[in-house]
Structure 1
Amino acid sequence: MKKKEMLLSIGEASEMLGVSVQTLRNWEKRGYIQSERTPSGHRRYALSDIRPHLQGQPDQKKAFLYVRVSTKKQEESGNLLRQKERLMNYAIKQGLHIAGVHEDVASGLNENRKGLSRLLKEIKNQKISFLIIEYKDRLARFGYSYLENHLRELGCEIIIAEEKQMSEEQELVDDLIAITTFFSARIYGKRGGKKVSTQIIKTIEGGVSDEDDSTIKA
């Protein structure tokens, strides 16, 4: 490593890469990236080691990541960030260049997701080889095959990185809660919609917690 080369602190490097400090530490443990230590033991990252993860190598295939959670509560609890970091780790391990990350906090039933719209537009305008998602329902609950065929025509293949971790019942509950709240507010107004959606949510959640042989199917 050259002495005059620009060195970044772990905070600066994580901000530049758009990942958490802990993710950067994990990457280093797995050999994805290297650092040197100051006399006091602090990590310093050379800009030349950061650039490949920003720009990609000439022969690397580009990949977009798409992450989604159904509710604001899930985002605030860190589910969206953890999902993003899992997919980043997966892409790096596969030797892919992460060209962008698109995200939504919205129901999988919502067809007007801003992140999904930007994703499809950018895939059309750029040469993106892969779209990485955690599992099918992250992209769409209905119409997945249509999106898969559309992306394939654009030269982009979908990679599903993980097996489904959330039960179909819980995921469907989250989607129903989000869409019920939205439409109830539009019909009855913000306050009235909240009362209606609260009652429906209690009914839905009660049905799931007391589920028997009749299982909710997505």
Structure 2
Amino acid sequence: MELLTISKAAKKLGVHPNSLRNWEKQGLIKPVRLPSGQRRYSIDELNKLLQSGQINTGQEDVVLYARVSTKKQADAGNLNRQLERLRQYADESNYHVVAEFTDVASGLNQKRRGLTNVFKLAERGEYKKLIIEYPDRLTRFGYSYIERHLHYCGVEVIATSEKELEDAQSELVRDLLAIITSFSAKLYGTRGGKKIRQGFRELITEVKSDEERKEK
């Protein structure tokens, strides 16, 4: 008897792996459990499920988007944990996840591959809801414009958390300092500009030191 992994079984049925987990909860399908706890699916059972007409593939299509600002955060597992929380939310809400996109970049960066793909799928009408953890995962500024564009594409944005994590607050400080530094650079050479720039440098150093102490 040939057994498929959950990802291969989902591909055969044309659904997301979360759909198989939901059908298992509903008693529509029963996978074989390996000693490790991993699921395996019989091809015969998958075919029977397809022919039964019991499965509901009409779940609302959604896209998940997660972002962290630095590679250090990604390496620490922050990006994966954020994405896993979004998967859990989609699973509990019985949504059909059609794609997952991530970025390791500042919320000020407008040229993010993951975010670009979010727009492309929305403009092609391939999903109905975008699931994020909180608004600044999409962008640090101009969130309302992105939300409005997606709305015109027929996509609703759902933020699963109201309160930002401590990491997100640290990101905000870094992004604001980046903006300040950019503007202060334009003042360099003008009267008092050098003094202002030095003050910003000292502030940046102080914030970075505070973050390093928190991480220890």
* CA-to-aligned-CA distance 1:31-56 (integer Å, 9 cap, x gap): 48854335x5654421649x99xxx9
Which residue in 1 is equivalent to 2:114? Answer: 115
> 1:80 corresponds to which letter in structure 2?
L
CA pair 200-43 structure 1, distance change in 2 beyond 3 A? same
Match of 2:32 among 31, 36, 44: 36
**CA distance in structure 2 between the aligned counterparts of 1:61 and 1:204, rounded to whole angstroms:** 43
Q: What's the CA shift for 1:122?
A: 1.5
Does the CA contact (< 8 Å) of 1:69 and 1:107 recur in 2? Answer: yes
Does the CA contact (< 8 Å) of 1:60 and 1:96 recur in 2? Answer: yes
Q: What's the CA shift for 1:65?
A: 0.5
* CA-to-aligned-CA distance 1:152-201 (integer Å, 9 cap, x gap): 1110000111232324641213435788999xxxxxxxxxxxxx999764
Which residue in 2 is equivalent to 1:86? Answer: 85
CA pair 207-84 structure 1, distance change in 2 beyond 3 A? closer
TM-score with structure 2 setting the length? 0.65
**How many aligned residue pairs are there?**
176
Q: What's the CA shift for 1:76?
A: 0.5
Which residue in 1 is equivalent to 2:151? Answer: 152
Q: How does 1:126-165 map to 2 (within 5 A)?
A: 126-165=125-164
Name which one, 1 or 2, has greater alpha-carbon Rg.
2
Pairing 1:203–2:206 present: yes
Q: How does 1:184-195 map to 2 (within 5 A)?
A: none
Which contiguous aligned blocks of 4+ residues in structure 1 show a shift greater than 6 angstroms?
14-17, 177-182, 196-200, 207-210
> 2:66 corresponds to which letter in structure 1?
V
| SS of equivalent residue, structure 1 residue 68 | strand
Does the CA contact (< 8 Å) of 1:107 and 1:178 recur in 2? Answer: no
| SS of equivalent residue, structure 1 residue 204 | helix
CA pair 105-209 structure 1, distance change in 2 beyond 3 A? closer
Does the CA contact (< 8 Å) of 2:64 and 2:97 recur in 1? Answer: yes
Which sections of structure 1, spanning at least 5 residues, go unmatched? Answer: 18-23, 183-195, 211-218
Which residue in 1 is equivalent to 2:3? Answer: 7
**CA distance in structure 2 between the aligned counterparts of 1:58 and 1:143, rounded to whole angstroms:** 35
Which residue in 1 is equivalent to 2:105? Answer: 106
Which sections of structure 2, spanning at least 5 residues, go unmatched? Answer: 11-17, 183-197
TM-score with structure 1 setting the length? 0.65
Does the CA contact (< 8 Å) of 1:67 and 1:80 recur in 2? Answer: yes
Report % sequence identity: 39
Which residue in 2 is equivalent to 1:45? Answer: 40
> 1:165 corresponds to which letter in structure 2?
E
**CA distance in structure 1 between the aligned counterparts of 2:212 and 2:76, rounded to whole angstroms:** 22
